[in-house]
Amino acid sequence: MIITFDRLPANLEELKAMPQAALSEPEYGAALFIAVMMHYLENKEETFEMLEFLKGPYGVSPFEKQFLADRMADGGNCVRSFFKGTSPENDYTPLLPYTIETERGYDQEIDGRMKIFMQSSGADSKRHILLRHKVSTNQWFVEDQMLLSQIRTPKSEDPWA
């Protein structure tokens, strides 16, 4: 599924106003995770509020906050790399509108959970995020993510370029 954003959310109210915030498809939660993480370097607390919404009953643990701080130390390159049009050569600069392509895992839904795969332009293989279905609200919430691993160095920061 291809998901497009004209703009990215800057706070919880803006996130909730987005059509994908209904979380009626697992791909929406996956793409919104990336969109929300784009705000991290501007305001961590607003980002955590938005992540609380995307994680539903799970919430964001102190461990996750530290993990995200470690992963975002690259200046957000790992997050930007999931948008179409980015590459190490253009320093992971996304094209407008912001576009993310998602793919459901081969096993589809198992025990109310689904893996959604996304390609980082700075990695060779797709990475995944795990979402869990809440039957009572028919929403998909982020349970765990394996998206924010190391990627290729942007050209402007690569001493070997």
Does residue 9 lie within any of the structural domains? Answer: yes
Report the predicted TM-score, pTM, of the whole model to 2 decimal places: 0.94
Q: Identify the pLDDT of residue 89.
A: 96
User: Could you tell me the two tokens for 114?
Assistant: 């689904």
How many domains does the structure of the chain reveal? 1
Q: Note whether residue 158 is domain-resident.
A: no
Domain membership flag for residue 160: no
Domain range for 128 is 2-153
In angstroms, the Cα distances linking 24 to 61, 128, 136, 142, 146 are: 24, 19, 12, 12, 22
Q: What does pLDDT average to over the chain?
A: 95
Q: Given this model, what pLDDT does residue 159 score?
A: 87
pLDDT digits (tens, 9 = 90+) for 16-33: 999 999 999 999 999 999
**Is residue 137 assigned to a domain?**
yes
